[in-house]
Amino acid sequence: MLDSLRQAATTWIAKLLLGLLVLSFAVWGISGQILNGTGGAVLTAGSTSVSPLDFRLAYDRQIAQLSQRFGTRLTREQAVALGIDEQVLSQLAAGAVLDETAREMDLGLSQDKLAELATSDPAFRGADGRFNRQQFEFVLRQAGMRPEDYLKNRQNAAMRQQIVDAATGGVSAPDTLLRNVALYRGEDRTIEYVPLPNSLVEPIEPPSGDVLQSWFEERKDDYAAPEYRKINYVKLEAEDIADPSAISDEQVQSYYEKNRERYTTPERRTIEQISFSEEEDAVAARESMRTGATFEGVVEMQGKTLEDVSLGTFTRGEVADEAVAEAAFALEEGKVSEVVQGSFGPVLLRVTEIVPEKVTPLDQVADQIRQELALDEASRLVLDTYDAYEDARAAGQTMQEAANAQRLTMRTVEAVDRSGRRTDGTVVEDLPQSRDLLSEAFETDKGIENPPIDLPSNGFLFYEVEDIVPARERSFAEVRERVVEDWTEAEVEARLTQRVQELQDALKDGKTLDEIGAEVGQEKVVKRGLKREADDPDLGRAGVAAAFSVPEDGTGAFANPAGEGQFLFKVTEVFEPAAVSADALPEDVANSLTQGISNDLLDQLVARLQAQHQVTVNQAALQQALSF
């Protein structure tokens, strides 16, 4: 509900349009018109309704956000499992009751304010960063929305915000709450613990065949073989069709001459600069150097060191002051310049080191240039190659034949499961766009020519499934070794947990950790200054959480974060901060508490408004919206 309310309470339509910039506007230019043509609203609250188009736009935006988070496009089945349609309905219902309340209260918005909201929308800014009428019309046209519909939605969102502001404006977390949270967060503890390794219960005697067989039967699904697929694919990128041998020596020579600066390391000079407030002082200092004074002496007379007057090492283009650059790069190494009128006053310059310009010979970069030119040429031919490949497939050629005709390479993954593993459990490492390729390959069928997958480098990945090995149950004999390993690991864990519980009971009954440590051959460890929610390098987050889950003198156990055994512990000291004020809490935590209170108020407001304005959902319209 909090997420639903927060989206309903903000300028929802504006954010929706910004989300559409990430999606494909072109699709909605068509399907939005179709949805608008369907009868009935998806949901209504009083006289306010949500159209199938508005629902579908919000639904697809939610899908896009979650897909980006998970790194793969969610399927319809996954969206249903995650309850996305219900989440979107909840968001839209919250917005609808707020809109209905605004209508009943006869809230309004001036035309000037509405224009300001529209023109400030980043989605409608041109290259100069200002509102652009053509951009405005283009975005709305691609979204399948009329300008008057957009302005109406912005007006509704602004009036909705008026209600939210009235309910939550000025809300802040009380000082008492902030102080108590600061006390809670500021507490630190001392614990003592003893490591309890797996060796306390090892070795485990081999199980009987009946025990293993029973274990296997109870967990047969865990040992099943997944579906495997044999996948052929052809990658088409500039690098796949680049032909360096087609680039002549003359082309390489010409490119080298035109781009000589790329292969030239310019001259660099280390420059020192003495600055003066008056030109007369600079002239006098320069004259003194002619009669025996040194550059170092003048620096010392100014109360400075050579480090103070060192500008650094630069190319000519890196020196911002043109007068200084011209003078410094005309000096011989070790010489002092005449007085130079710099941008900030008169200066004397000295160059202490000159690193000459260095030009890399053509023969050292010829292969690199040839490859770059070949890639550049190939990038212009990618689409032509794509068309030729597709034409060949349309004419009946196999993937191998079409690839050969375009000098492309067809590669084959003999057997891979949905997670990218071979039959031996190893991961296929070199699959291009592996997440998308596997996802698409396991959604298609054998022998079907599929649309290519777009590659980030403006390339294409063609693929087809040549064979499918269905998922099947494995026999006990096939996985016996793995079953033994799994049973043994589980038995160690169970026996150690039992042993730890016995030792913890003894600790509670008065036995000390020193005595328990001596009994199990482990030294007791003392950990001081533990802070709540810390990620301690020895205990890990789970260990710290366990230490703060019991009172002083409380005991417990948690898994060793190193991955072997458990730790048995006792909390021996609890320290509260001496004096804590509300201001001691970090600003982000205080803001989060205030936001939580604000969300609770908004939650209650929407719940009450939903009881006042009954929300009804048209399931037929909902399903129709989801079908496009």
pLDDT digits 0-9 by tens, 262-291? 899 999 999 999 999 999 999 999 999 998
Residue 258 lies in a domain: no
Residue 175 inside a domain? The answer is: no
Q: How high does pLDDT run on average in the chain? A: 86
Q: Are strands 43-45 and 615-617 parallel, antiparallel or unpaired?
A: antiparallel
Of 423, 449, 469, which residue is a domain's last?
469
The pLDDT confidence band at residue 17, using thresholds 50, 70 and 90, is very low
| Mean pLDDT along residues 500-510 | 95
The CA distance from 274 to 513, in Å, is 71
The CB-side HSE value for 333 (13 A sphere, CA atoms) comes to 9
Instruction: Assess whether 95 and 151 both reside in one domain.
Output: yes
Residue that finishes a domain, picked among 316, 341, 356 = 356
On whether residue 253 sits in a domain, the answer given is no
Beta bridge partners of 196: 566
Q: Give domain status of residue 261, yes or no.
A: no
pLDDT of residue 628: 64
Q: Does 490 share its domain with 460?
A: no
Structure tokens at 464: 């087809």
> DSSP alpha helices (H): ranges in 460-617?
476-508, 513-520, 540-547, 587-612
Q: Give Rg (Cα) of the chain.
A: 37
Where residue 303 sits, what CATH number does that domain have? 3.10.50.40
Domain stop point among 440, 469, 498: 469
Q: Of 128-132, 210-214, 346-350, 548-552, where does mean pLDDT reach its minimum?
A: 128-132
Same domain, 27 and 118: yes
Do residues 481 and 465 make contact, with C-beta atoms less than 8 angstroms apart? no
The reply to whether 325 and 443 lie within a common domain is no
Length of the chain: 628
Residue whose entry in the numeric block shows the structure tokens 């909840």: 90
Domain presence at residue 29 = yes
Least confident of 193-197, 327-331, 496-500, 602-606: 602-606
**Residue 23 confidence (pLDDT):** 34
All residues at 6 or more sequence positions from 295 whose CB lies less than 8 Å from its CB, including other chains: 272, 274, 289, 336, 348, 350
Q: Is the peptide bond before 577 cis (omega within 30 degrees of 0)?
A: no
Question: What pLDDT does residue 143 have?
Answer: 66
- Note whether 129 and 187 are within 8 A (CB): no
The answer to whether residues 463 and 537 belong to one domain is no
pLDDT score for 103: 81
**What distance in Å separates the CA atoms of residue 612 and residue 442, rounded to the nearest whole number?**
48
Does residue 310 have a pLDDT over 90? yes
Strand, coil or helix: 409:
coil
Q: Rounded distance, CA 60 to CA 626, Å? A: 9
Nearest alpha-carbon partner for 238 in 370, 385, 365? 385
pLDDT at 4: 40
Let me know whether 27 and 166 are in one domain: yes
Q: With cut-offs at 50, 70 and 90, classify the pLDDT of residue 3.
A: very low
Q: Provide the pLDDT confidence category of residue 626 given band limits of 50, 70 and 90.
A: confident
Structural domain includes residue 182: no
Which band of pLDDT confidence, cut at 50, 70 and 90, is reported for residue 16? Answer: very low
As a whole number, mean pLDDT of residues 369-377 equals 90
Q: Residue 508: is its pLDDT beyond 80?
A: yes
pLDDT digits (tens, 9 = 90+) for 431-483: 999 999 999 999 999 999 999 999 988 899 999 999 999 999 999 999 999 99
Whether 212 and 232 map to the same domain: the answer is no
486 and 561 together in one domain: yes
Do 55 and 71 lie in one domain? The reply is: yes
Least confident of 1-10, 87-96, 115-124, 175-184: 1-10
Q: Which residues pair with 263 in a beta bridge?
A: none
Global pTM value: 0.53
Q: How far apart are CA 223 and CA 213, in angstroms?
A: 13
Question: What 3-state DSSP class applies to 608?
Answer: helix
Given this model, what pLDDT does residue 543 score? 95
Task: Give the residue from 115, 118, 119, 143 showing the smallest Cα distance to 130.
Answer: 119
Q: What pLDDT does 458 receive? A: 84
Q: Is residue 251 part of a domain?
A: no
Would you state the pLDDT for residue 63?
84
Q: Return the pLDDT at 186.
A: 82
Instruction: Kindly report, residue by residue over 519-541, the tens digit of the pLDDT.
Output: 999 999 999 999 988 889 999 99
More confident residue, 178 or 357: 357
Q: Do 126 and 25 share a structural domain? A: yes
In a domain, 127, yes or no: yes
Q: Does residue 294 share a domain with residue 198?
A: no
Q: Averaged over 409-428, what is the pLDDT?
A: 94
Look at residues 379, 351, 369 and name the one whose alpha carbon lies nearest to residue 269: 351
| 415 plus 484 within the same structural domain | no
Query: By C-alpha distance, which of 83, 40, 56, 160 is closest to 609?
Result: 160
Average pLDDT over residues 69-89: 82
Average pLDDT over residues 23-48: 52
The helix (run of H) or strand (run of E) holding residue 287 is helix 279-290
Looking at the 3D structure of the chain, how many domains does it have?
Answer: 4
pLDDT at 64 over 90: no
Predicted local confidence at residue 262, as pLDDT:
87
Distances 312 to 102, 269, 272, 315 between C-alpha atoms, Å? 65, 8, 7, 10
> Can you give the pLDDT at residue 27?
29
Q: Which domain holds residue 444?
A: 228-238+388-469
- Distance, in Å, from the CA atom of 569 to the CA atom of 209, rounded to the nearest integer, reads 38
621 burial type by CB count under 10 A (0-12 exposed, 13-18 middle, 19+ buried): buried
